[in-house]
Amino acid sequence: MTLVAILSGAGISTDSGIPDYRGPNGLWRRDPGAEKLVTYDSYMTDPEIRRRSWRMRGDSPTLRAEPNAAHRAVHELEQSGTAVRVITQNVDGLHQLAGTPVRKVLELHGTARSVSCTGCRARSSMKEALDRVAEGEEDPRCLVCGGILKSATVMFGERLDPDVLAQALAIAKACEVFVAVGTTLQVQPAASLAGIAADHGARLIVVNAEPTPYDDRADEIVREPIGTALPALLKRFHHS
């Protein structure tokens, strides 16, 4: 059976109302100071950065977003009986909300739907933490040990979970088709997965509005809007 690996980046979620951080109108270009809010050292050492981060999370569209046609198309591919694995750079959880089984989604950069304690590693829901912020706790602490809480995402200055990365590498080496969708393929080590898949004989398909460093390795490049292009593309791989 054909194994289809899908590497998804911010571009797959823009139709759900989640902004692209690195694009031409992305948050990091509009407000360079915002990057400090998700930089580990700044977050851990500056209480004001943490307070601003919690306010930003409360205003973020991420937790209110709903899956769009592209997320649903991935789920439909999986439902058709095709072997599918999703490797996502996104932290929004929309692949799972669309119905793709949690065990088939690797979140390279963690999830914004949970919080973790930087001390004891206890995890709890982001909603619970944001409810505490709404009730007046500007910098909520871990209820288990009193440690600093952070979003269960990989911040700048933190390394990726080595187990998750190892699984992603194994999928890139084993798949017959590798679809990179809505990603600039510029952030390592995620971007290198496209090249690794191609090196191991996978058909590489890039679905992205802008050129990527891996376009010259691609068997197919799709520049159309993801919301319509990805469903049409994935239908070709439905297991009949």
Q: Is the pLDDT of residue 187 over 90?
A: no
Which residues, including other chains, have CB under 8 Å from residue 195's CB and lie 6 or more apart? 214, 217
Query: What pLDDT sits at residue 196?
Result: 98
pLDDT tens per residue, range 100-115? 999 999 999 999 999 9
- DSSP bridge pairs for 148: 141
pLDDT of residue 239: 84
Global confidence as pTM: 0.92
Task: State residue 115 phi and psi, 5-degree precision.
Answer: -120, 155
Give dist(CA 217, CA 204) in Å, integer. Answer: 7
Please tell me the predicted confidence (pLDDT) of residue 32: 63
Least confident piece of the model among 10-14, 55-59, 212-216: 55-59
> In the chain, what are the domains?
1-18+67-109+159-240 (3.40.50.1220), 20-60+113-153 (3.30.1600.10)
In percent, the amount of the chain with pLDDT more than 70 equals: 95
110-117 sheet: strands from edge to edge: 123-125, 110-117, 149-153
Active-site positions?
A: 109
CB 194 within 8 A of CB 184: no
Mean residue pLDDT across the chain: 93
Residue 28 has pLDDT above 80, yes or no: no
